[in-house]
Amino acid sequence: MGKLISGAASWLAWAIWQLTSSALGLIGYLIIAVCAFGKLWYQRQGRNPAYPGRTLWEWKGGWLTYPFCNEEDGVIPPAEVNGSPYWAGWPQGWRAFWWSAWRNSVNNLRMFPGNFVVFESDPVVTITKNGYTASYGWRRCLQWRRLRIGWLINPTAKKGDYSWLVTEIV
């Protein structure tokens, strides 16, 4: 019964996150457009312990723009992503808009309390014919073929790794 309740809690939390991120994402397009084309960003030290020592660009606007920032990479894309130039030659405002509104929409929502977790023990992973399931405490992950939903718990995840809510094609 406990596994059923914790599984239900996990999927309920994921559904609420999905609805919230979708609504904020729509609002965010306008906010990000104003910030990107107005060049309303500044540089600061990252605050997430999962990415220590990073200096990144953040939107000006405090709490209003925080969900649309990116504690991992900043709001302006790096010059290269996966070894390839990333939108080379595009004006910086357009690069910031597409990086923050399209690729990383409401990225910092994953940093809100309860959404981000560091594993204190190894997650439980079960490999299936078409993907895998994984759990850590009450958090669940399901990957079926190329669709992954729930918390980002990779099949090789171990103690010390971290996770947050995702819906992605891998």
**How confident is the model over 28-67, as pLDDT tens digits?**
999 999 999 999 999 999 888 778 888 999 999 998 999 9
* Cα angle 152-156-157, degrees, rounded to a multiple of 5: 50
Contact 75, 57 (CB under 8 A): yes
Question: Whole-prediction pTM value?
Answer: 0.80
Q: In this predicted model, what pLDDT tens digit does every residue of 76-118 receive, in sequence order?
A: 887 777 777 777 788 989 999 999 998 888 989 988 888 889 9
pLDDT digits (tens, 9 = 90+) for 137-147: 999 999 999 99
Percent of the chain exceeding pLDDT 90 equals 62
pLDDT category at 5 given cuts 50, 70, 90 is low
Could you tell me the CA-to-CA distances from 73 to 7, 53, 56, 122, 142 in Å, in that order?
Answer: 31, 12, 6, 26, 26
Q: What is the mean pLDDT of residues 1-9?
A: 69
pLDDT tens readout for residues 118-133: 999 999 999 999 999 9
C-alpha pair distances (Å), 17 with each of 24, 53, 68, 155, 159: 10, 28, 14, 23, 25
